[in-house]
């Protein structure tokens, strides 16, 4: 059922793209693409020649030939428009879905006297205070100023699990269109109508509103210059042909011009850029501009926060270390008992590790015990059994005072064990039953699996990784070594992050970083690519040029790969397009002049049937290669982590040499078909 629905969805996009291809024939739209605009002008001229063959001086070819040239040119333009419309199609479909999310909602406006008034969401202005209760849609973007609630963000992120948001801190921003799943919140509106996060998403995913990137503008300019050069070349062929007594009619000259100008990349250029943006949105990342995606592909340095990016951010139990006179089994069992009713992530990780090491759960006395929660004052937690036995775990110094107060003896190697854990970057927790300390629990902020390999890939691409952390240098060095980053900044403050970014930029490098807090905003703004977490503050999201809707800081690594794929795809297809022209040159020029200049026979390596057959074959190939390359433009050239030199060599061999060979074969096959059908 899902597959059938997906197929129908894809079919609807294709049908709409086909209709849009005709709408884009509007010259006011086409002039934005100089190459295809020239083709459209040529199409119009050949249409006039098809209607009246002798309309212009030197246009004495037959109506049938003119009609054939017109039809092929028309399809060339339509295929180029179809490629762009198809790329825009998914963005428009996403925009339609978002518009449904942004349906008209009401809001409870809080007045200064505390009273509530139901108003339309369109009436809300920046600075207004609203209340949102369980089950209600949050009408616009804002910051929670009171309350704590679980927020269902599935309409924006596609993730079904609600997230906890509360006033203060780095997880206080809410997005319009999301829903309060439990409790209530009081929100300060942060945007005026039409400026919300959802409004920006709708505008950005619609390809029609996409601004061209600097690289794309530069390439468009280059293609326009090449087109003008070939236009001059074609014009100079006329007096040369007259001198050689070779008749070149207008339709043939237009066909020759269209074959020689870079129509393939001209027709696919916009589709490549739009599809690149679309691939980013498929990863649930909202890029504020195509420039940000391209910059990600050119990144030299990645600056990443340790907590939540490189590590999970929660200290997890890694090892149980017994003190003198205690076995590993005893300290493992004691740690399990001390954590049985501890619902914190650390507590659950201790239970999980103890069970994995063979500890036995299910002690009836523990099940009936009174849990003792951790407090900042005691720095301990545990159980109080019915028989008066107290089981505790906590900070080593706090546990030493606790045991000493009960008359217990402090093990001689306790401090040594705790110091060894601290030097390794971990957190030691002592565990005791009654007045006896059994050992130490080693908690560590675990590095996410697979990151070391991904950082190695980045290193292979020449990208430097720097970890920022507030930890001491010793702990930072340990985590950096385990994660495999190239460098680290310990005890980092917000200004240290900015300084690190500026230092790299002064060396001519492009820098990317992730962040979610208000204190990250200056660094996100300074970075060439700033990826903010959707769960973070509004200040961070406004400073960044990309927002990760899933709030997964490691997503930046995928964004870099997508940016590189976009640049590689554009470069590969440009190489293929220009290489194509070499084969078309060998197909058409000798065929046109061989009768007047028999010396050109050595260049007639394709041995095409006739001049008309050569022109029509090249023209047909020129038209059909565009739709054949649409899947490559949409999906992107497969990206592999390798150095720039190797990547360049690979693409030159595949798309450069391939761009020469494929047209030779394609044009020859088309020529044989036309000759066999006696069409030319």
Q: Which residue ranges are tagged as binding site? A: 342, 346, 374-381, 393, 516, 520
Task: Give the integer Cα–Cα distance in Å for 485 and 477.
Answer: 10
Other beta carbons within 10 Å of 52: 11
Give the closest residue to 185 by CA, choosing from 134, 139, 118, 119. 134
Beta-carbon-side half-sphere exposure of residue 245 (alpha carbons within 13 Å): 3
Structure tokens belonging to residue 78: 């339509």
Q: Given CA atoms 216, 222, 225, 227 in this order, what sign does their dihedral have? A: negative
Residue 136 tokens read as 């209600």
Contact 151, 181 (CB under 8 A): yes
State the binding site for ATP: 342, 346, 374-381, 393
Distances (CA, A) of 559 to 277, 529, 552: 10, 10, 12
Say whether 96 is catalytic.
Answer: no
Angle at 567 between CA 566 and CA 568, to 5 degrees: 95
Using only C-alpha atoms, what is the Rg of the chain? 34
Cβ contacts of 354 within 8 Å, gap of 6 or more:
317, 320, 332, 333, 335, 336, 339
Q: One of 141, 305, 445, 471 is an active-site residue; which one? A: 305
Residue length, the chain? 680
Residue by residue, DSSP assigns 431-486 as EEETTEEEEEEEEEEEEPTTHHHHHHHHHHTT-EEEEE-SS-HHHHHHHHHHHT-S
Annotated binding residues for Mg(2+), written as ranges, equal: 516, 520
CA distance 492 to 469: 6
Residue reference for tokens 């997508």 = 562
3-state secondary structure of 287: strand
In degrees and rounded to multiples of 5, residue 385 shows phi and psi of -80, 160
Other beta carbons within 10 angstroms of residue 517's beta carbon come to 18
362 contacts: CB under 8 Å, gap ≥ 6: none
H helices then E strands: how many in the chain?
24, 21
Sort 281 into a burial class: Cβ within 10 Å, 0-12 / 13-18 / 19+.
Answer: middle
Let me know: does 269 contact 36? Beta carbons within 8 Å: no
Q: Looking up tokens 């997503």, which residue turns up?
A: 555
- Residue 315 pairs in a beta bridge with 445
**Are 171 and 144 a contacting pair, CB within 8 Å?**
no
Element (H, E) at 391: strand 390-395
Distance CA 606, CA 586 (A): 8
For 398, the token pair is: 């706090």
CB atoms within 10 A of CB 504: 19
- Whether the CB-CB separation of 24 and 39 falls below 8 Å is answered with no
Give catalytic residues, as residue numbers: 305
């Amino acid at each position: 059922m899902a597959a059938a629905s997906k197929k129908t969805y894809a079919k609807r996009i294709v049908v709409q793209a086909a209709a849009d291809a005709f709408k884009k024939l509007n010259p006011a739209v086409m002039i934005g693409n100089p190459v295809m605009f020239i083709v459209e002008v040529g199409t119009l001229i050949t249409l006039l020649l098809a209607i009246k063959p002798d309309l212009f001086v030197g246009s004495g070819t037959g109506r049938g030939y003119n009609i054939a040239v017109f039809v092929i040119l028309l399809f060339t333009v339509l295929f180029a428009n179809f490629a762009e419309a198809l790329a825009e199609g998914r963005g428009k479909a996403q925009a339609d879905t978002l518009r449904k999310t942004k349906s008209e909602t009401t809001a409870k406006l809080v007045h200064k006297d505390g009273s509530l008034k139901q108003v339309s969401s369109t009436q809300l202005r920046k600075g207004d205070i609203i209340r949102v209760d369980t089950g209600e849609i949050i009408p616009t973007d804002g910051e929670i100023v009171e309350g704590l609630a679980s927020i269902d963000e599935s309409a924006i992120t596609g993730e079904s699990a609600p997230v906890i948001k509360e006033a203060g801190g780095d997880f206080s921003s809410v997005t319009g269109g999301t829903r309060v799943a439990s409790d209530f919140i009081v929100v300060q509106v942060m945007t005026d109508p039409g400026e919300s996060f959802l409004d920006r998403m709708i505008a950005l995913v619609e390809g029609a509103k996409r601004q061209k990137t600097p690289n794309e503008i530069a390439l468009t300019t280059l293609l326009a210059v090449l087109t003008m050069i070939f236009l001059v070349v074609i014009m100079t062929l006329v007096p040369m042909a007259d001198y050689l007594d070779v008749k070149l009619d207008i339709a043939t000259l237009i066909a020759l011009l269209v074959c020689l100008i870079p129509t393939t990349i001209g027709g696919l250029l916009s589709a490549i850029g739009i599809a690149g943006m679309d691939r980013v949105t498929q990863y649930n990342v909202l890029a504020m501009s195509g420039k940000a995606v391209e910059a990600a592909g050119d990144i030299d340095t990645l600056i990443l926060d340790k907590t939540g990016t490189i590590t999970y951010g929660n200290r997890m139990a890694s090892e149980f270390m017994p003190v003198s006179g205690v076995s590993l089994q005893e300290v493992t069992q004691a740690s399990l008992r001390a954590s049985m009713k501890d619902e914190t992530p650390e507590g659950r990780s201790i239970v999980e590790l103890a069970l994995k090491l063979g500890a036995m759960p299910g002690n009836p006395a523990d099940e009936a015990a009174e849990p003792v929660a951790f407090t900042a004052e005691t720095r301990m937690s545990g159980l109080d059994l019915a028989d008066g036995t107290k089981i505790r775990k906590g900070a080593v110094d706090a546990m030493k005072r606790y045991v000493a107060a009960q008359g217990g003896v402090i093990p001689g190697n306790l401090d040594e064990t705790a110091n060894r854990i601290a030097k390794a970057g971990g957190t030691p927790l002592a565990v005791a039953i009654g007045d006896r300390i059994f050992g130490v629990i080693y908690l560590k902020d675990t590095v996410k699996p697979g990151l070391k390999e991904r950082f190695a890939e980045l290193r292979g691409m020449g990208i430097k990784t720097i970890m920022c952390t507030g930890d001491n240098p010793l702990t930072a060095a340990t985590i950096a070594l385990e994660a495999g980053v190239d460098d680290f900044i310990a005890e980092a403050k917000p200004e240290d992050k900015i300084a690190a970014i500026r230092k790299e930029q002064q060396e001519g490098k492009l820098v990317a970083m992730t962040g979610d807090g208000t204190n990250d905003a200056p660094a996100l703004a300074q970075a060439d690519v700033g990826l903010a977490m959707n769960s973070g503050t509004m200040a961070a999201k406004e400073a960044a040029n990309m927002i990760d809707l899933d709030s997964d800081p490691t997503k930046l690594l995928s964004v870099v790969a997508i940016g590189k794929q976009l640049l590689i795809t554009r470069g590969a297809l440009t190489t293929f397009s220009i290489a194509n022209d070499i084969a078309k040159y060998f197909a058409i020029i000798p065929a046109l002049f061989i009768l007047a200049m028999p010396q050109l026979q050595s260049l007639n390596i394709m041995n095409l049937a006739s001049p008309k057959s050569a022109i029509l074959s090249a023209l047909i190939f020129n038209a059909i290669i565009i739709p054949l390359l649409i899947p490559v433009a949409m999906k992107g050239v497969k990206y592999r982590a390798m150095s720039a030199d190797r990547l360049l060599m690979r693409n030159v061999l595949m798309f450069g040499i391939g761009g020469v060979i494929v047209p030779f074969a394609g044009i020859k096959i088309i020529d044989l078909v036309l000759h066999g059908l006696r069409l030319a």
